[in-house]
Amino acid sequence: MNKNESRYFNTAKKMDEALITLLEKKEFSYITVKEICETAGVNRSTFYLHYENTADLLNETTQYILDRFSSYFKIDRECVIQRYAQKNPDDLVFITPEYLTPYLTFIRDNQRVFKTALKELGSMGFDRVYQQLFTHIFDPILARFAYPKQTRSYVMKFYLTGITAIVMEWIAWDCSDSIDTVSDIIIDCIFGKQNKRERTDGI
């Protein structure tokens, strides 16, 4: 990365962080370019050098959060996607320490970003991200487990809402419990303590 690219990247990061900070306090539709520039410590001309409008910045900030989240996973995504083409359903179980540990580590390290993303699911486009995941990953996996098609969206909302509730309780306690403890709680809630020993891979 040359000097100009580095400066551009650093400025963009300041803008992304500024928008995240402002989204903690108000809805996106009420955030102005002036507020973003003041929070980021840049002038308006710098903003318009990077973006046409606040919607452009919002799109970039969404990708910034997704990239930061993805960086915590050392798993080959193509490998994950190919797993549900195999015969063994145990390979399709994602409620395991392998997946929960990086997920919870990201949340512990980025609590305010996580809460902001939850608060702004629609405006930041995370609802579309979820729909893509459901269509290309969750729905095919649930099909492998013989869930009827009309029930699959309910099943995923059950899992995700429950896990999110546990995570929000963890955040409320300032993530004082260890990641291993919270991971075990999630696995216990999904599979039950009796079944936990039988499922060394933990959906």
**What was the pLDDT predicted at 201?**
45
On whether residue 203 sits in a domain, the answer given is no
On whether residue 179 sits in a domain, the answer given is yes
Question: Residue 66's closest CA among 21, 113, 105, 8?
Answer: 113
Q: Tell me the pLDDT tens digit for each residue of 163-189.
A: 999 999 999 999 999 999 999 999 999
Is it the case that residue 9 has pLDDT exceeding 90?
no
**What was the pLDDT predicted at 2?**
46
Structure-block tokens of residue 38? 């003041």
Instruction: Report the alpha-carbon distance of residue 123 to residue 194 in Å, rounded.
Output: 41
Q: Which of 36, 63, 90 is the last residue of a domain?
A: 63
Same domain, 107 and 168: yes
Same domain, 44 and 88: no
On whether residue 68 sits in a domain, the answer given is no
Same domain, 39 and 88: no
Is it the case that residue 199 has pLDDT exceeding 60?
no
On whether residue 192 sits in a domain, the answer given is yes
**What was the pLDDT predicted at 144?**
83
Q: State the average pLDDT for the chain.
A: 86
Same domain, 133 and 54: no
- Residue 10 sits in a domain of what CATH number? 1.10.357.10
On whether residue 201 sits in a domain, the answer given is no
Q: Which of 63, 94, 110 is the last residue of a domain?
A: 63
Same domain, 58 and 89: no
Structure-block tokens of residue 84? 């549900």
Neighbour count for residue 192 (Cβ, 10 Å)? 11
Per-residue pLDDT band for 202 (boundaries 50, 70, 90) equals: very low
The percentage of the chain sitting over the pLDDT mark of 90, rounded to a whole number, equals 61
On whether residue 110 sits in a domain, the answer given is yes
Q: For the chain, state the CA radius of gyration.
A: 20
Same domain, 134 and 185: yes
- Look at the chain and report how many structural domains it folds into: 2
Same domain, 26 and 83: no
Of 24-28, 60-64, 84-88, 106-110, the range with the lowest mean pLDDT is: 84-88
Question: Residue 49's closest CA among 17, 1, 2, 12?
Answer: 12
On whether residue 161 sits in a domain, the answer given is yes
**DSSP assignments along 126-176, one per residue:** HHHHHHHHIIIIIHHHHHHTT--GGGHHHHHHHHHHHHHHHHHHHHHTTT-
Is it the case that residue 72 has pLDDT exceeding 50?
yes
Same domain, 141 and 41: no
Q: For residue 129, give its domain range.
A: 74-196
